[in-house]
Amino acid sequence: MKRLLFTLAAAILLAGSAFAAGPGEDKAAPSTTATSAEKASAKAARKADGKTVAQASQPGDDRPASASKKASKSERQAAAAQRKTEGAKVSRQPKEATGPN
């Protein structure tokens, strides 16, 4: 038991050094900060890039442009009434005895 714990502790210590910072990674970032004008111009550029990406077609977006057409209130009511009548017809039909329940 002690040997197992000793080997686990040694493995943990050796694994920790494997993730240590390499040469040049142990220094902090330079202390020069961007001016507010530079920050604003970078933000505007990111915003413009994001806008073009968002408006472009995305992978998996296979819906045609007509699919996003809004239906009028009367069309929605007619579709709801049709679904209600179809559901009533199905619920009145006898159930099939296909399973153990």
> How many helices (H) does the chain have, and how many strands (E)?
3, 0
SS3 (DSSP) at 48: helix
pLDDT tens by residue, 13-43: 766 665 666 666 666 666 788 899 999 999 9
Residue 68: its pLDDT value, please? Answer: 61
Its pTM stands at 0.31
Residue 58: its pLDDT value, please? Answer: 73
pLDDT tens by residue, 43-98: 999 999 999 988 887 777 776 666 667 889 999 999 999 999 998 888 887 777 66
- Residues 82 and 88: their CA atoms lie apart, in Å, by 10
- Amino acid (one-letter) located at 41: S
- Amino acid (one-letter) located at 38: E
